[in-house]
Amino acid sequence: MSYVDPSGNQCQAAKDRLAASTSKGKNETKTATKLTEHQDSSCKGSGDGRNPNYEGYVKSGKGQPPQNFSPEGAGKNGSFREAKRASGVPVSQQPSKIVDPGIGKNGKPIVGGGKDYYFKDSNGNEVVIRQHNEHIYEDDPIQNRGTHFNDKYGNRYDYDE
């Protein structure tokens, strides 16, 4: 398993969090499984070349639902905090700005709503965590999603309103 992302540091932070949490014995199996799944899926660096926040994003194949990275039972706040952790942003940090509606990968406002939350990671790099309203895909309904957040890699964190 690789712990290095395209910027060379994000997955190291996840590895450090994993080591710290398992050494304390808190939720050892659940935490290790969740971070391992996150590292395996988000540290590949297969970017789309348009938005650096989507550098590790890999779209689910047709007929497969996108993976949900929210902790089990997490609400809106829990999902947002998990997206911050995965993006290297301290969970206590407040956004430097909020853009409503958010700007999509194509540079245009997100249709149907959503917000972009801007933060700085531990290296001083700007990180955007995006809040999306539901998505409906008529040609591939298994991809339909309710409200969710996307981390800097494009991974999804579902929550119920």
Domain extents in the chain? 10-158
Q: DSSP assignment, residue 132?
A: E
**Are 93 and 110 contacting, i.e. CB atoms less than 8 angstroms apart?**
no
The token duo for 74 is: 């997490």
User: Is a pLDDT exceeding 80 seen at residue 76?
Assistant: yes
Question: Mean pLDDT over all residues of the chain?
Answer: 69
Q: Which H or E run includes 78?
A: helix 76-86
Collect all residues with Cβ–Cβ distance below 8 Å to 55 and sequence separation of at least 6: 5, 6, 7, 45, 47, 152, 153
Segment 6-56, tens digit of pLDDT = 334 444 444 554 454 444 444 443 433 444 344 333 333 333 333 344 345
Rounded CA-CA distance 42/83 in Å is 12
**pLDDT number for residue 103:** 76
**Are 116 and 107 contacting, i.e. CB atoms less than 8 angstroms apart?**
no
User: Is a pLDDT exceeding 80 seen at residue 74?
Assistant: yes
User: Is a pLDDT exceeding 90 seen at residue 160?
Assistant: no
**pLDDT number for residue 16:** 55
Structure pTM?
0.58
**pLDDT number for residue 19:** 53
HSE of 6 in the Cβ direction (CA atoms, 13 Å)? Answer: 16
**Are 101 and 114 contacting, i.e. CB atoms less than 8 angstroms apart?**
yes
- Token pair 């994003």 in the structure block, residue: 57
Rounded CA-CA distance 145/118 in Å is 23
Rounded CA-CA distance 34/85 in Å is 12
- Type of residue at 139: D
Of 4-8, 11-15, 62-66, 69-73, give the range with the top mean pLDDT: 69-73
